Amino acid sequence: MTEPQPQPQPEPSVAEQRAALASTVDALQRKVDVPARAKAGARHELDKVRQQPRGAVAAGLVSAFVAAYFVVRQRRRRSH
């Protein structure tokens, strides 16, 4: 028994090809625009901090205390 031949796909119209190409070019432009992507990422992180300011302040304070601890510890080691 022979397998049926697949039907050839109709070629997309010129308008459809242009639309697909424009979509691809737009996606590539967004991907290569590093400064815009960096700004968008920074904006996203800032929005997260604004929504949860207590968590950001707490994390900042903990980081500051840890950094201060290591600075004081290093200075004490050097003085002895």
Looking at residue 78, what is its pLDDT?
81
What does the DSSP 8-state code read for residue 65? Answer: H
pLDDT, tens digit, 9 for 90 and up, residues 2-46: 777 777 788 889 999 999 999 999 999 988 998 888 999 999 988
Looking at residue 25, what is its pLDDT?
95
Q: pLDDT class for 68, splitting at 50, 70, 90?
A: very high
Looking at residue 65, what is its pLDDT?
94
Looking at residue 71, what is its pLDDT?
92
Q: Are 56 and 49 in contact (CB under 8 A)?
A: yes
d(CA 13, CA 11): 6
**Domain locations along the chain:** 15-79
